[in-house]
C-alpha cells in the first residue's frame, strides 16, 4: 500500500514541474474581463502571469499612465489566476472593475493555465516567448523594474 502511495505522489510531483526553457507552451484558451476568448498562439512574445492580487496590483502600477493597447503593441498579455476569488465577489465587483483597465486581463478562473508555469505567489512572472517556445523566465516584485523591462520590448 505504501508503494502505491509513494508512486502516486511521485507522479503528482512530476506533473507540477515548471515549464523549462526551450519547451513549447501547451495551447490554451481563456476569456478576458469582457468575456472575449483568447487562444495562445505563436505571435505572443511576453506572457505576464500573476497568482495573487498583489501581483495584479504590481502590473497595474507598472502600466499606470500607459495608453490602451500598450501591452498588445508589445505582443504581450497578462493572465491573472482568480481561481481563489469567491465567484460572487468576482462577478459583482472585481471583474467589472477590471473593465476600466487600459489592458486586457485573461482570467484563469479554474486554475487551468497558471499552475503549469509555477508562478510565484508574490510578484509577476515574465515568460519570454519565441514562436510559442519559452526562451526566458523572470520574476518581478518591483513595479519600476517591470515597467523598465516592458519599455525595452519594441512595439
State the chain's mean pLDDT as an integer.
Answer: 90
Distance of alpha carbon 66 from alpha carbon 103, whole angstroms: 9
Q: Residue 7, Cβ neighbours under 10 Å: how many?
A: 10
Tens-place pLDDT, residues 68-89: 999 999 999 999 999 999 998 8
Predicted confidence (pLDDT) at residue 143 exceeds the cutoff of 50:
yes
Query: Cβ distance 86 to 126 under 8 Å?
Result: no
pLDDT greater at residue 16 or residue 10: 16
Alpha helix positions (H), 42-94:
53-62, 70-73, 87-89
Q: What is the DSSP letter of 115?
A: G
The three grid cell numbers given for residue 19, joined into one nine-digit string: 515549464
Identify the sign of the CA torsion 53, 55, 125, 17: negative
Predicted TM-score (pTM) above 0.85: yes
Residue that is written with C-alpha cell 526551450 in the block: 22
Beta strands in the chain (DSSP E): 29-32, 37-39, 46-50, 76-81, 105-108, 124-130, 133-140
pLDDT at 17: 60
Amino acid at each position: 500500500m505504501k508503494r502505491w502511495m509513494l508512486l502516486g505522489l511521485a507522479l503528482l510531483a512530476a506533473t507540477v514541474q515548471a515549464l523549462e526553457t526551450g519547451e513549447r507552451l501547451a495551447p490554451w484558451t481563456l476569456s478576458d474581463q469582457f468575456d472575449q476568448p483568447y487562444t495562445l498562439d505563436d505571435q505572443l512574445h511576453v506572457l505576464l502571469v500573476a497568482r495573487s492580487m498583489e501581483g495584479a496590483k504590481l502590473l497595474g502600477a507598472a502600466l499606470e499612465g500607459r495608453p490602451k493597447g500598450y501591452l498588445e503593441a508589445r505582443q504581450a498579455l497578462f493572465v491573472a489566476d482568480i481561481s481563489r476569488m469567491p465567484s460572487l465577489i468576482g462577478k459583482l465587483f472585481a471583474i467589472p472593475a477590471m473593465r476600466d483597465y487600459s489592458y486586457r486581463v485573461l482570467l484563469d478562473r479554474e486554475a487551468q493555465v497558471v499552475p503549469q508555469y509555477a508562478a510565484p505567489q508574490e510578484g509577476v512572472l515574465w515568460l519570454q516567448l519565441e514562436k510559442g517556445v519559452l526562451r526566458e523566465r523572470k520574476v518581478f516584485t518591483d513595479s519600476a523594474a517591470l515597467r523598465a523591462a516592458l519599455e525595452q520590448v519594441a512595439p
